[in-house]
Amino acid sequence: MGNLVVTEFVTLDGVFEDPGGAEDFEHGGWSFQFDRGPEGDKFKFDELMDAEAQLLGRVTYDGFAKAWPNMRGDEFGERMNSMPKYVVSDTLESAGWENSQRIPGTGAMDEVASLKQQMEGDILVAGSGQLVRSLTDAGLVDEFHLMVFPVVLGTGRRLFEGVHTVSKLRLAATQQAGDSLILTYVPR
């Protein structure tokens, strides 16, 4: 059975919106103001290489599908493009990015549970706030990898804003990554 791993860049106040600056958020690009060091780069590289697939919401999928096909030539970019990708959406017409398929939003949590049963490796979920909240409420998340950056933005979408189910977690690991801290949580 595969593990569903939510992997996010977040601020100290829980904002995960637009860490790379590709959206219209007034504080977009906040993660690039800090050095995640070789430890952070290695963590993200190993995380992707160890994963079997990605699960994405439509907005994150659209952003990734626009950017990643142009980032070839290194092992990370090749892996992002070639690995299986599943996008949860009722509105996406077609999943045209290499090796992608759509999961209809209606009944998606059952489909994700089935996907976990079929997989052996990790299924990574990056960004995809609405999807992460639904997965959390459904109890389908096996690990949270949060790379916490030392900044308080005060505004912006917060990762767990709108979660309806109490989820008790246990801190499983910590790792310094340059200016940031990687926190790994698992359900209790």
Domain spans of the chain, in order of start: 4-187
Q: Is pTM beyond 0.75 here?
A: yes
pLDDT of residue 149: 98
- pLDDT value for 3: 97
Per-residue pLDDT of 85-125, as tens digits, reads 999 999 998 899 999 999 998 899 999 999 999 999 999 99
Per-residue pLDDT of 62-88, as tens digits, reads 999 998 988 888 999 999 999 999 999
Dihedral sign, CA of 31, 68, 22, 85?
A: negative
- From 113, 115, 44, 114, select the one nearest 85 (Cα to Cα): 115
How remote is the C-alpha of 159 from its chain's centroid?
A: 11
pLDDT score of 171: 98
CB 177 within 8 A of CB 43: yes
Sheet of 180-187: strands edge to edge? 100-103, 85-88, 51-57, 122-126, 4-11, 143-149, 180-187, 169-177
Q: Which helix (H) or strand (E) holds 2?
A: none
CB 11 within 8 A of CB 151: yes
Assigned CATH for 4-187 = 3.40.430.10
Question: Averaged over 1-22, what is the pLDDT?
Answer: 95
